[in-house]
């Protein structure tokens, strides 16, 4: 029995290279939080990029509709002005203004 006890190796003392090789690498909280924040940042960048493209298209369409509405409002105002005045001189002035638009 004494031979079997002596054949077993005793664990290496702390601080040696053999003990460092046996230790598994564990992540610290700082590393975990940093990784999660980086992942969230990448996801946010992708979502924001898609949202910017869509909002630009919607804004362009809204600007086109606004411009069309403005033209219609100008024509409606000019027609109302023509109805109030009702003379031929104003009628000729009205077509001169419309032809410039």
What are the tens digits of pLDDT across the range 92-101? Answer: 555 555 555 4
Q: pLDDT for 27-61, tens place per residue?
A: 788 889 999 999 999 999 999 988 888 899 899 99
6 by DSSP, 3-state: which? helix
Cα(74)–Cα(3) distance, rounded to whole angstroms?
A: 109
N- to C-terminal Cα separation, the chain: 111
d(CA 9, CA 18): 13
Whether 87 has a pLDDT exceeding 80, the answer reads no
Is the CB of residue 73 less than 8 Å from the CB of residue 64? no
Which residue in the block uniquely carries the two structure tokens 């054949």? 7
């Amino acid at each position: 029995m004494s031979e079997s006890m002596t054949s077993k190796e005793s664990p290496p003392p702390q601080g040696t290279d053999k003990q460092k090789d046996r230790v598994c690498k564990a992540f610290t909280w700082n590393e975990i939080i940093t990784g999660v924040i980086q992942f969230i940042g990448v996801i946010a960048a992708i979502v924001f990029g898609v949202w910017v493209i869509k909002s630009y298209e919607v804004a362009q369409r809204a600007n086109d509709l606004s411009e069309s509405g403005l033209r219609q409002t100008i024509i409606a105002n000019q027609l109302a002005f023509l109805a109030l005045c009702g003379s031929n001189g104003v009628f000729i002035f009205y077509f001169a203004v419309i032809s410039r638009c």
